[in-house]
Amino acid sequence: GTTVSGTFLYLIAALNLVALAGILRVFRAMRAGTYDEAALEQHLDSRGFMNRFLGRFTRSINRPGQMFPLGFLFGLGFDTATEVALMVMAGSGAAAGLPWYAILCLPLLFAAGMSLFDTLDGTFMNFAYQWAFSNPVRKVFYNLTITGLSIAVAFLIGTIELVGVLHEKLDLSDVVTDWIAGLDLDNVGYVIVGLFVLVWAAALAYWRLARVEQRWAGRLGGDG
């Protein structure tokens, strides 16, 4: 299972690397003073493994109401560690003789927490998309950053998983593989969060200090 997961992450990283190369070509053309919206969309649509096969179905969803049945089905299969812990606590409470309304507080609190953080996440992404897609310069810069970051994360996690499997199955004993195999993926998750913050801070600093929008928009002229 770990081998399949690591290989799949490498496959996703490779596909996104091809898409990144296409976005870089659009970037170079933009620096020369031309911008091809259709070419950029084609490269963006080629990102990810499932998007290559299900893209035409996802593009058929054009109203918010159509997302409700998909979200309902997704929720039925979304068994997280938190949900499992919640069910264990609810079962333990029922076995201990707690009244039903006391046990009901647990799923209500869980739903409230999920609603809060999903709303915050949606608000942040809505703000990011509004900023990124307001003009061609921002759109290319945003997608260069997010695609490059997704490639780095996929390669990082995939390498840790595959090296861990090889270390165990081949009985490897060296400093590098010993260290990688001993990494705790929970701690790696914190590193990835820090990587996201660092990359976005660096990207925003470069955007402002290098005056990217003003320079690129000037090269595009009226066509932008």
**pLDDT tens-digit profile of 23-51?**
888 777 777 666 666 766 666 666 655 66
Question: CB within 8 A of 129, min separation 6: which ones?
Answer: none
| Percent of the chain with pLDDT strictly greater than 90 | 1
Question: CB within 8 A of 58, min separation 6: which ones?
Answer: 51
CB hemisphere CA count around 12 (13 angstroms) = 23
Q: Which of 170, 133, 141 is nearest to 30 (CA)?
A: 141
Confidence category of residue 221, pLDDT binned at 50, 70, 90: low
Confidence category of residue 116, pLDDT binned at 50, 70, 90: very high
Is residue 77 classed exposed, middle or buried when 0-12, 13-18 and 19+ CB atoms within 10 A define those classes? Answer: exposed
Dmax of the chain from CA atoms? 73
Q: Which of 133, 152, 158 is nearest to 44 (CA)?
A: 133
Residue 197 vs residues 9, 193, 201: alpha-carbon distances, Å: 22, 6, 6
Domain positions in the chain are 2-223
Chain centroid, CA 163 distance in Å: 23
